[in-house]
Structure 1
């Protein structure tokens, strides 16, 4: 749960950064700044890239949510078979590096 809140906070930080950049661009435009100044302002900060990578990382909670939906749809046996396919009898036994593959297969059940 703590990780989810951190991801949300990081998302808000990205949004705030975007609004700051937008305000700077608008201010520069209003002052009729030189084109190279506007280009410098609108460049994406380098620190935003690692956050995007983390956002695409599949977590145990993400997989658990998808599997819960499939179970509620009456696909409990298929969910169990899918876990067995990954060599696990329960979700927490699935290695982290295989969670992305698991969620991809679970979504098409």
Structure 2
């Protein structure tokens, strides 16, 4: 196993996301890891356990998961938007990416490092 595979295995063991037959896209609860998160204004709330989280924290957590699973993919607004199954607007995702990552390229060729 290489380093990326070790980190991925450790991540799944640490978060104990359950017996999924395959990896599912979507916004997970930061507490129970369930895929029943509802987005309201500036917070996300889990329908299962009631945990609340700031949207920016939720987006960053999803970006980390995406980077862990697909380390060679260029980080783009559309990639994050698709990974979060369109729960957040592209404008919010772009703002979060611009605030926490280095922007490279212009227009449709923009990605973040």
* TM-score tier after normalising by the smaller chain length: under 0.3
More strand by share: 2
More helix by share: 1
Greater C-alpha radius of gyration = 1
Structure 2 length-normalised TM: 0.23
Structure 1 length-normalised TM: 0.23
Larger relative contact order (CA 8 Å, sep ≥ 6)? 1
